[in-house]
Amino acid sequence: MISGVALVAKPAGPTSHDVVEQVRRALGTDRVGHLGTLDPFAVGLLVILAGRATRLASCAAAWTKSYEGVIRLGVVTTTDDATGEPLATSDAWRGLDGGRIAEALARFCGAYAQRPPAYSAVKIAGERAYRRARRGEAVAPAPRPVQVSELELTGLAPPDVRFRATVSAGTYLRSLARDVGEALGCGAHLAALTRTRVGPFPLADAVAPEAVTPAALRDPAALVADLPRQELDEAGRAAVIHGRPVMAGKGEGGRVALFSNGELVAVAERVADALKPRVVVADA
């Protein structure tokens, strides 16, 4: 059975769902998902899980994502990116220098309450925000906490601001561009975006969607590399495969990755002195 991780370099144009569909056809399996959407205009790393590896998506939920991009000052759009219609324009950016812009970026480092874009998949009263926005409704998703661990000015060619960022899961770079524009008093939108890293995976290791093959899939164990590890004997493997607990080793708490002969078998959770399988990925 196919199970593994594909690092895909998404081009501009297709949706993340389009890329997933292409990988499904290439691998011959319907069980395919990804670790975070990229908007159609964005490019870069899309981490795709196939087969039983999809069960491990929660293990990557806390991974940060890194980006390089361009914020265009002076124009606010409906979508907070270059695909939307202009809502407001300003020439106030002409009086800004690199120091002022760097200071504005620095204000967003750390934790802050970010309002998702009106055109986003966030649900409002059970319905996606973008569906309401497309009907012409006034949409204002509730702010939610995000963490920006890096936001650095890397180039300036006014009105374009080049930046590098590392953010928590769930952070919208479109919203970040909009908020930087508001802080500078001129408005802004996200003009270009490249995702360069997801957790431990760099864009440099990715392949084009059409180059994904079963043989090129990475070991799902890469998704649990940060968890404590316990080796199982044959009896332990048989127990875990059928959902039965095994004895925990010394000092192991929380989630533990269970291996047998170098193969990831399951992710378990310690309960008292036992490790109870929560996600089983190996075949019987």
Q: What is the CA radius of gyration of the chain?
A: 22
Write the DSSP assignment of 52-91 as a string of letters: GGGGGGGGGTT--EEEEEEEEETEEESSSBTTSPEEEE--
Structure tokens at 70: 């361009």
Provide the residue count of the chain: 284
Enumerate residues 6+ apart whose C-beta is below 8 A from 226: none
Which residue is it, tokens 């009105």?
A: 159
The one-letter code for the residue type at 194 is: T
Distance CA 254, CA 122 (A): 30
User: Any idea which residues carry the catalytic annotation?
Assistant: 39
Distance CA 58, CA 168 (A): 14
How many CA atoms are closer than 13 Å to the CA of 77, on its beta-carbon side?
18
Please measure the distance between the N-terminal and C-terminal CA atoms of the chain and give it in whole angstroms: 11
The phi-psi region of residue 136 (left if phi > 0; otherwise alpha if psi is between -120 and 50; otherwise beta) is left
Distance CA 13, CA 103 (A): 33
Cβ(144)–Cβ(48) below 8 Å: no
Which residue is it, tokens 């930046």?
A: 163
